[in-house]
A and B are shown apart, each in its own frame.
Chain A
Amino acid sequence: MKELSLHILDIVQNSIAAKATRIDIKVVENPDKNLLTITITDNGSGMSPTALKQATDPYYTSRQTRKVGLGLSLFKQAAEQCGGRFKIISDPEAGTKIKTSMQYKHINRQPMGDIAGVITLLASSNPDIYFRYEHKTPSGKYVFDTLKIMKVIENISIADPNILRFIREMIQENLRNINTTT
């Protein structure tokens, strides 16, 4: 995994598998404090304390098709390799929250990558899940909210390629406007 946006895409798959109906993705860039944080919160089925303890162990997985589970381990590594931290809070009643911090200017800090594409793919492939994506930089804040999108497009599918193209460009332009990292 070479880009932070791909980690986000991957970690959100866990939320989807946990039957979440609401997923919040928050990215905060603070170059002045040399800090970048990514927080992913869902209201899915959460993890038991035992599962939680093993969650970042690459040899632990809840699935049957294979014996490794690298998603969280790789994200943890991506944070820790640039002097950051990785934290999971999970409650079978409330869901899971994953928070990572990284040194913004660390040489090992992965690039953000195509975050607009990732958010667009997630929203379009999971029309029944409410996604809220917030991206903050010193220049401002952009919020993408699928409920607002659904309200506008009404009976047109969010998976319509024309809508997808539009959404992706809308996110890209808004991010460019607040000078997000690439």
Chain B
Amino acid sequence: MTKVKTLADLKKLKDKLQEKVKLREKGLDAENHVQIKVAMATCGIASGAKVIMEFLIEELDKRNIEAVVTQTGCMGYCFAEPTIEVTLPGQTPVVFGYVDVRKADEIIEKYIKNGELVDGIIPQNYETIDNN
């Protein structure tokens, strides 16, 4: 058997992180976080939402942006999946559609870092057409 990571290794990592977390907690303010929700219903998952979520978690950490990335259900924009909802501190949420890795990168660099709007926003007043 080759060497595999165990819970004991996790303990070591935890002890290492503990120090960093202590430093961070001082400046930690929930309202200063960027919040991102990735739509993860059948439509989202089938269109690649998992990869987008992993990309966001990884890249936001690498680029030192304090953000919370969570999952949400289908927002009714199945045609535009993967969709993500981004809430900058103190601002109204913005929903982006057709988010691939390139788009996600653009959203981080332009919208999250500079507040600059990018293509692919689903207008808030958009409503699903109901034929009944």
A176 to B53, CA, bound (A): 24
Task: Determine which of A66, A149, A173 lies in contact with B74 in the assembled complex, contact meaning CB atoms within 8 Å.
Answer: A66
- The stretch that binds A, out of B8-16, B94-102, B103-111, B115-123, is B8-16
* A residues in contact with B17, CB < 8 Å: 156, 160, 162-163
Q: Given A170-B5, A174-B4, A177-B4 in contact, is the A9-B58 Cβ separation under 8 Å?
A: no
Residue pair A65, B11 in contact (C-beta under 8 Å) = no
Residue pair B57, A66 in contact (C-beta under 8 Å) = no
Is B18's CB within 8 Å of the partner chain A? yes
Is B75's CB within 8 Å of the partner chain A? yes
A153 to B12, CA, bound (A): 9
* B residues in contact with A125, CB < 8 Å: 70-71
Give the shortest distance, in Å, between B120 (CB) and chain A (any CB).
Answer: 20
A118 to B108, CA, bound (A): 23
A1 to B58, CA, bound (A): 24
Closest to A148 in B: B7
Residue pair B50, A13 in contact (C-beta under 8 Å) = no
Residue pair A117, B50 in contact (C-beta under 8 Å) = yes
Question: A126-167: contact bitstring with B at CB < 8 Å (1 yes, 0 no)?
Answer: 000000000000000000000011001111100111111011
A69 to B9, CA, bound (A): 42
- 8 A–B contact pairs at CB < 8 A? A9-B45, A17-B73, A63-B74, A117-B54, A121-B71, A154-B14, A161-B61, A169-B5
Task: Write the residues of chain B forming the contact surface with A, with a CB cutoff of 8 angstroms.
Answer: 1-2, 4-7, 9-11, 13-14, 17-18, 21, 40-43, 45-46, 50, 53-54, 57-58, 61, 68-71, 73-76, 78, 128
Q: 6 nearest interchain CB pairs?
A: A161-B61, A65-B76, A170-B5, A173-B4, A71-B42, A125-B71
